[in-house]
Amino acid sequence: MTKQHVGFVGLGAMGRPMAENLLKAGFDVTVWNRSPDKMQALVDQGARKAERLAEVAKPHGIVLSMLADDAALEEVALGDGGLVEALSPGGLHVSMSTIHPETARKLADAHAEHEVGYLAAPVFGRPDMAAAGKLFVTWSGWHSYKERAQPVCAAFAQGFYDYGSDDVAAANVVKLAGNFMLASAMEAMGEAYAFCEQQGIAREQVNAQMTETLFACPAYKNYGDLIARHAYAPAGFTATLGLKDIGLALDAGRQAKVPMPLASLLRDRLLSLTARGHGDKDWSALGLAIAHDAGNDPTER
């Protein structure tokens, strides 16, 4: 039986394990990355290497993209030799990046002009969940596109949440909302643990109680442990990317006329982190910014 071909663009901390799971699931995978050196590990596992972006796609085929920001995605999709040209009419682009809703709408319109399908499908989960095939896909777009993409995405996802086809950007709105909620939880934990620590109570002990009782859920357990231990490297998701996402949420909120004062605080926290040279740390280093403001920054002891 001929293997189904899948193109994959963007081999960062999330993209690489996603592509690896596609290979393990038996797909014929062609990869492309702006930094060519990141392709070799996938080639060693059986992937094909695209020398040019256009080679990642087959006419009428399917390509998944996991890129860092809106500008990178627009360049890959709409630039010279980009995906809309390479896929040709009947092809499908599954965009899994966290982007501004307006960017998603723009991309969907541009794909439609070329008779290429566009599916918004951002994911929730960190790199370890990507490697374990346990991501959650949030998607919006035509039902036929989801039917086509579901067997492919099942290689790295444990669940799918469907936000219909009326607005292709609905999934991107939900993704920004989810990331805002995660950052808000980290802010709350960072402040609470700093509050206890300044009064002689071990932050690790407080975290253990809270995440075993009132807040026994993955977000608090996973990020609470990092914040309690000030363990912000290596990063699963950097503070720089967190700053980008909170900025997108604020701008989308402004357009929708929704005040988001907590998001403004989070933006300033993350901006302070990056200004102090911590942009490459995990975004749970929000706890470090709070400790710094409390005069208890472990990096300054």
Phi and psi at 266, nearest 5°, equal -65, -40
For residues 146 and 291, what is the distance between their CA atoms, to the nearest angstrom?
44
**pLDDT digit string (tens) for 150-173?**
999 999 999 999 999 999 999 999
pTM, two decimal places: 0.96
| Helical packing angle, 170-197 and 203-212, nearest 10° | 130
The predicted structure's pLDDT at residue 1: 58
Instruction: Enter the CATH code of domain 5-167.
Output: 3.40.50.720
Backbone dihedral region of 24: left (phi > 0), alpha (psi from -120 to 50 degrees) or beta?
alpha
- Three-class SS of residue 144? helix
Q: Can you name the residues that pair with 30 across neighbouring β-strands?
A: 7, 48
DSSP state of 80: T
Per CATH, which fold does 173-300 belong to? N-(1-d-carboxylethyl)-l-norvaline Dehydrogenase; domain 2 (1.10.1040)
DSSP state of 31: E
**pLDDT digit string (tens) for 84-129?**
999 999 999 999 999 999 999 999 999 999 999 999 999 999 999 9
Which residues are known catalytic residues?
175
What tokens appear for 107 in the block? 């991309």
Query: CA 34 → CA 56, 66, 231, 279, distances in Å?
Result: 12, 12, 30, 21
Q: Where are the domains of the chain?
A: 5-167, 173-300
**pLDDT digit string (tens) for 21-54?**
999 999 999 999 999 999 999 999 999 999 999 9
